[in-house]
Amino acid sequence: MVEQALLYFDNERYRLRAWCVMPNHVHVMIDVWDGHPLHTIIWSWKSWTSRQANARLRRTGAFWHREYYGRFIRDAAHLRNAVAYIENNPVKAGLVPAAADWPWSSAHR
């Protein structure tokens, strides 16, 4: 469900470069497009997915942390390292032997 939310406006409001949906957090790298500020994109993802998750779990209340951590990519090397970090997160956590084995990530696609 979270991955579907990330993909929904890809190439319409932003360009999704890399992502990984983990059991307790999410990593996402996007190119933000004019007219679609980062905070509204993240609000959209969190708002929709929290309603869906709470309905499925038959609960109410906060689902996501209020904050998020954003960074600017400095250069091509930083981009490669950041994508590798995002896509290898499930490997580092011991969930899969290879990044492409994690079904909820850009490495899998």
Q: Who has greater pLDDT, 97 or 69? A: 97
Sequence spans of domains, the chain: 2-101
Evaluate whether 99 touches 88 at the Cβ level (below 8 Å).
yes
The string of pLDDT tens digits covering residues 3-59 is: 999 999 999 999 999 999 999 999 999 999 999 999 999 999 999 999 999 999 999
**What pLDDT sits at residue 51?**
95
Please state which CATH number belongs to domain 2-101.
3.30.70.1290
- Residue 42: which of 72, 2, 90 has the closest Cα? 2
**What pLDDT sits at residue 38?**
95
The tokens of 31 are what? 């190119």
Nearest-angstrom CA–CA distance, 1 and 7: 10
**What pLDDT sits at residue 29?**
98
The tokens of 50 are what? 């929290």
How many other C-beta atoms lie within 10 A of the C-beta of residue 83?
18
Nearest-angstrom CA–CA distance, 109 and 102: 10
Helix (H, G, I), strand (E, B) or coil at 106: coil
pLDDT classification of 66: cutoffs 50, 70, 90 = confident
